[in-house]
Structure 1
Amino acid sequence: MIEIPLAPEFVPLHLGSMPIGDKFSALSAETKKEFINEVEASMAGFARETKIIYPDAVHVAVGLKA
């Protein structure tokens, strides 16, 4: 399981650390709020009191040449 802060805290931190961080920072405060609200709504089923907890899965394929 992955545990992250709630969207209002996590989204600016996460996007700010990515190559698109400057684009997010350049958005108006209202647009940032709308974006964060959309993320928050889409993750609502995973929200707990102070964090979002969601399952994570990784699939790995390995090929061997005989």
Structure 2
Amino acid sequence: MRRQAFDPARLLLGLSLLGIAAAHVLTATGRWELPLPVLLPLLPAALLLAGAVSAVTHAVRRRRGRGKGG
């Protein structure tokens, strides 16, 4: 079986979505009170953060790849 390349953006996005889901479940069950205006922007923020991490990872990998071939 081939090993998959490590992707920090996917890891960050997965952990962020798990956290958002847990916050939603805790709010729905009444164990934790999180206002809706705070909960709604968390998803776009997680997506933007994952996109930024993905861009940085791509730039770092491209820069490292340049040194090997030259």
Normalised to the residue count of structure 1, the TM-score between the two structures is 0.37
Name the structure with the higher strand share.
1
Name the structure with the higher helix share.
2
Q: Which has the larger radius of gyration?
A: 2
More RCO (CA 8 Å, sep 6+)? 1
Normalised to the residue count of structure 2, the TM-score between the two structures is 0.35
